[in-house]
Amino acid sequence: MNWAARLWSRTLRSSFSTLIEANIEKPYHLVSVACGFPKNILRSKYKPGKFGDDAWFITSTKKADIIGVADGVGGWRSYGIDPGEFASFLMKTCERLVQCAHFNPTSPVSLLSHSYCELLENKRSISGSSTACVLILNRENSTLYTANIGDSGFIVVRGGQIVHRSEEQQHYFNTPFQLSLPPPGLDNVLSDRPESADTMNFPVEKGDIILVATDGVFDNVPMKLLVDTLSEVEGEADPVKLQMCANSIALIARSLSFDSDFMSPFSINARRNNINTMGGKPDDITVVLASVVI
């Protein structure tokens, strides 16, 4: 009798514990993948976190998931400066600072600002310019915090529609906002502050698909095609299937960028600015794709 009572008691406790665990809301987190291509594949050497002059990172802490992209301004090459070094330093420093005690999971602008300050104070001067887009999913409140400088950016797809997207920042056509550090003696250079970033925050839902990309994607792939492709992996938690989707978007962007007969988003915008052009825009391409899962 005592044995049966003890067994029954243990069964009740186990069932009660299972019921409590089932009712506890698990925090959302991101399953993230990346893909891309340098504009000139034959001349570019592979480096982790880089595609040509583009740079990216994916990282996480116990309280947050963080992703970011940056696009080094190619014009610096004519001054003998590697355009990708600035963007790479910026993203690598963001990735490292996430693990520091002062990291704020609600302020991607602060993360960018601290990274930019380290770049300015670096003993070895790293000249150049870069756009940047950083997103932080705060697991404690299921809210996505975003900061975007320039013409890289993000879209969030839910139910086959864009529910959130970044705002492109341009001084004038094809001249985006950018963080800069000119070499000594060159003062007349566009330079924006991290605090000038376009910022947003909004709650996410399970199954949301987030695309973060450089302008090599947005200048070449029509938005409807992007949304249709992303909709195919809504709610997907399998990183292999997400990687296949990211690969597909990167390949589409690269193919269209070299299509001289295609009326690309870049060409459409150029014509709006009285520039008669046709075709895609060859560029480095970076795709970071993330799915919101439990």
pLDDT tens, per residue, the chain with 294 residues: 465 556 555 655 655 555 444 445 689 999 999 999 999 998 888 899 999 999 999 999 999 999 999 999 999 999 999 999 999 999 999 999 999 999 999 999 999 999 999 999 998 999 999 999 999 999 999 999 999 999 999 999 999 999 999 999 999 999 999 999 999 888 889 999 999 999 999 999 999 999 999 999 999 999 999 999 999 999 999 999 999 999 999 999 999 999 999 999 999 999 999 999 999 999 999 999 999 999
Beta bridge partners of 111: none
How far apart are the C-alpha atoms of 2 and 252, rounded to whole Å?
70
Tell me, what's the pLDDT at 21? Answer: 46
Please list, in sequence order, all residues whose beta carbon lies within 8 angstroms of the beta carbon of residue 45, skipping any fewer than 6 positions away.
none
Residue 280 and residue 259 in contact, taking contact as beta carbons nearer than 8 Å: yes
> Tokens 């947050």 belong to which residue?
64
Tell me, what's the pLDDT at 19? Answer: 45
Beta bridge partners of 56: 69
- C-alpha distance from residue 291 to each of 207, 211, 225, 234 (Å): 6, 9, 18, 7
How does DSSP assign the chain, residue by residue?
-HHHHHHHHHHHHHHHHHHHHHHSPPPPEEEEEEEEE-SSTTTPPP-TTEETTEEEEEEE-SSEEEEEEEEE-GGGGGGT--HHHHHHHHHHHHHHHTTSTT--TT-HHHHHHHHHHHHHH-SS---EEEEEEEEEEETTTTEEEEEEESS-EEEEEETTEEEEEPPP-EEETTEE--EEEPPTT--------GGGSEEEEEE--TT-EEEEE-HHHHTTS-HHHHHHHHHTTTT---HHHHHHHHHHHHHHHHHHHT-TT-B-HHHHHHHHTT----B-----EEEEEEEEE-
How far apart are the C-alpha atoms of 89 and 77, rounded to whole Å?
17
Query: Computed over its alpha carbons, how large is the radius of gyration of the chain?
Result: 22
How far apart are the C-alpha atoms of 70 and 133, rounded to whole Å?
6
Structure tokens at 79: 């001054």
pTM of the model: 0.91
Give the up-direction half-sphere exposure of residue 201: CA atoms within 13 A in the CB hemisphere: 12
Tell me, what's the pLDDT at 43? Answer: 87
Pairing of strands 175-176, 170-172: antiparallel
Residues written for the chain: 294
Please list, in sequence order, all residues whose beta carbon lies within 8 angstroms of the beta carbon of residue 110, skipping any fewer than 6 positions away.
104
